[in-house]
């Protein structure tokens, strides 16, 4: 959550460490900090919700401690791989409303159940997903090259917000002017909340 404590970051890449080892170490850092918190609070099971990168780490936690997670809710999770082409749904008509898309999908599922090719809606949905071809999917975007200085700073745990935090009152002034300009359409109390959050 936005105003929770910030555990000290102690991970530094080692010289001969592979990316898989770095990823395992980072995942472990966040998963174990959540597990330590769960123990301290005294929860046996929880509904775990993760947004963006939190969705990725929530998934890692649920995989490691499934007995502690009653439900897992992922909201726009980062790092969750895109489904392979054979499992992706075909591109919907770009002009179709959500209601039209839902109606079309429901009609397809119903037709499979009615025709007897599927015993349940779950079976029909699985068949529908497996049978979809998405030849018209977009080609992968080329990866942008990260400048060497940015990679160096990132490896040393220097982020834009860590710089803002270290420059004291001047950093707070920068954040205030940014939120005032960027979120001018919001009410003043909402802008103040965003300023406090950042």
| pLDDT at residue 38, rounded to an integer | 94
| pLDDT at residue 49, rounded to an integer | 94
What are the pLDDT digits (tens) for 89-136?
Answer: 665 566 677 677 777 777 777 777 677 665 555 555 555 555 444 445
Sign of the Cα torsion 15, 144, 150, 159 reads negative
Contact of 61 with 51, CB cutoff 8 Å: no
pTM above 0.85, yes or no: no
Sequence spans of domains, the chain: 1-83, 96-130, 147-198
| pLDDT at residue 48, rounded to an integer | 96
CATH 3.40.50.1820 matches 1-83: yes
Distances in whole angstroms, Cα of residue 149 to Cα of each of 144, 155, 158, 159? 15, 10, 11, 12
Q: What is the mean pLDDT of each run of 10 residues along the chain (198 residues)?
A: 67 80 90 93 95 91 96 85 66 66 74 65 54 55 81 83 86 86 88 82
| pLDDT at residue 133, rounded to an integer | 46
């Amino acid at each position: 959550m936005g105003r929770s404590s910030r555990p000290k970051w102690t991970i530094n890449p080692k010289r001969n460490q592979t990316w898989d080892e770095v990823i395992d170490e980072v995942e472990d850092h966040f998963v174990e900090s959540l597990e330590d918190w769960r123990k301290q609070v005294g929860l046996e099971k929880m509904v775990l919700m993760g947004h963006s990168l939190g969705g990725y780490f929530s998934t890692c936690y649920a995989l490691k401690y499934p007995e502690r997670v009653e439900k897992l809710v992922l909201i726009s999770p980062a790092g969750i791989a895109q489904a392979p082409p054979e499992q992706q749904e075909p591109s919907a008509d770009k002009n179709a409303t959500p209601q039209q898309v839902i109606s079309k999908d429901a009609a397809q599922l119903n037709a499979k159940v009615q025709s007897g090719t599927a015993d349940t809606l779950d079976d029909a949905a699985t068949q529908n997903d497996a049978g979809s071809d998405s030849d018209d999917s977009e080609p992968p975007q080329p990866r942008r090259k990260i400048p060497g200085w940015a990679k160096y700073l990132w490896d040393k745990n220097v982020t834009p917000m860590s710089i803002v935090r270290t420059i004291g009152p001047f950093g707070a002034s920068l954040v205030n002017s940014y939120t005032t300009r960027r979120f001018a359409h919001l009410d003043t109390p909402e802008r103040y909340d965003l300023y406090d959050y950042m």
